[in-house]
């Protein structure tokens, strides 16, 4: 029941999102978090294409399984983008993931941008599907400082009650060192049985023309487990 409500709400939000016009170029420039990836920056224009891969690994403990995920993102209409992702655990393909993201518009004289992101996940081992829906709010505070906040529900499954869904929160604070070099702090929180919290300081920089890298290292603490250091890198190629 909850899954049907979530799908209906997602469809309603996507169809209600305003079309972009000439003012789309005025949308604030806000970096994307390294771990909780967005489907292109908010306000992306039709035809934008990106491929990227994220790799994460614990830096201590006996189990240091590398988690990595290549993905493709494409903006099919101004302000509306889709992604397809293949999360791996070591050499094993663990999930199939698809995402959609719609930008609603701006507020506060163009300093705030907001929208919604939907994720659909298929777990290959259990053959179960789940969904997540998040509201997104980004703000450019000044020419150097910006924030991106995403709040929603995750682990929504068919036949599941509202009480079984988990709260998802991602908040990232960014500081622009130069025009294309950024430092940030990303905080990820997930409630429920398999939830936890992670704090990931990170650095974003260009490597070549339309090639960028995000590097991060921080602390991850899953429910019922001790905190442990974790490191990651995301390599991004825009076309």
SS3 12: helix
pLDDT digits (tens, 9 = 90+) for 107-148: 999 999 999 999 999 999 999 999 999 999 999 999 999 999
Let me know: does 76 contact 47? Beta carbons within 8 Å.
no
Spatial separation of the C-alpha atoms in residues 172 and 175, rounded to whole Å: 10
pLDDT, position 4: 54
pLDDT, position 26: 83
pLDDT, position 148: 98
Q: From start to end of 66-111, where are the E strands?
A: 67-77, 80-85, 88-89, 92-93, 95-107
Asked if residue 59 has pLDDT above 80, the reply is yes
pLDDT, position 9: 52
Q: 8-22, 43-57, 61-75, 135-149: which has the minimum mean pLDDT?
A: 8-22
Question: Tokens 């130069």 map to which residue?
Answer: 178
Spatial separation of the C-alpha atoms in residues 87 and 65, rounded to whole Å: 13
Let me know: does 218 contact 46? Beta carbons within 8 Å.
no
pLDDT digits (tens, 9 = 90+) for 177-205: 999 999 999 999 998 777 899 999 999 99
Q: What percent of the chain has pLDDT over 90?
A: 73
pLDDT, position 20: 44
Let me know: does 202 contact 15? Beta carbons within 8 Å.
no
Let me know: does 3 contact 160? Beta carbons within 8 Å.
yes
Asked if residue 160 has pLDDT above 90, the reply is no
Asked if residue 155 has pLDDT above 50, the reply is yes
Confidence of residue 65 (pLDDT cuts 50, 70, 90): confident
Spatial separation of the C-alpha atoms in residues 181 and 175, rounded to whole Å: 9
Cβ neighbours around 13 below 10 Å, total: 16
pLDDT, position 16: 47
pLDDT, position 8: 54
């Amino acid at each position: 029941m909850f899954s049907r409500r979530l799908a209906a709400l997602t469809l309603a939000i996507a169809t209600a999102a305003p079309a972009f016009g000439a003012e789309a170029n005025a949308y604030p420039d806000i970096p994307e978090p390294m771990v909780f990836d967005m489907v292109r920056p908010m306000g992306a224009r039709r035809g934008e294409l990106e491929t990227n891969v994220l790799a994460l690994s614990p830096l201590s403990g006996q189990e240091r399984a590398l988690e990595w995920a290549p993905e493709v993102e494409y903006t099919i209409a101004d302000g509306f983008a889709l992604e397809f992702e293949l999360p791996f655990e070591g050499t094993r393909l663990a999930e199939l993931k698809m995402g959609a993201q719609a930008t609603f518009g701006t507020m506060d004289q163009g300093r705030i941008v907001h929208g919604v992101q939907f994720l659909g996940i298929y777990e290959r081992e259990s053959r179960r599907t789940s969904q997540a829906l998040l509201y997104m709010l980004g703000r450019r505070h000044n020419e150097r400082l910006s924030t991106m906040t995403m709040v929603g529900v995750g682990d929504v499954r068919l036949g599941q009650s509202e009480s079984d869904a988990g709260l998802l929160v991602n908040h990232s604070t960014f500081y622009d060192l130069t025009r294309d070099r950024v430092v940030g702090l990303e905080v990820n929180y997930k409630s429920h049985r398999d939830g936890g919290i992670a704090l990931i300081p990170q650095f974003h920089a260009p490597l070549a023309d339309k090639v960028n890298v995000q590097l991060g290292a921080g602390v991850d603490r899953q429910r019922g487990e001790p905190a442990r250091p974790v490191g990651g890198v995301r390599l991004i190629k825009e076309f």
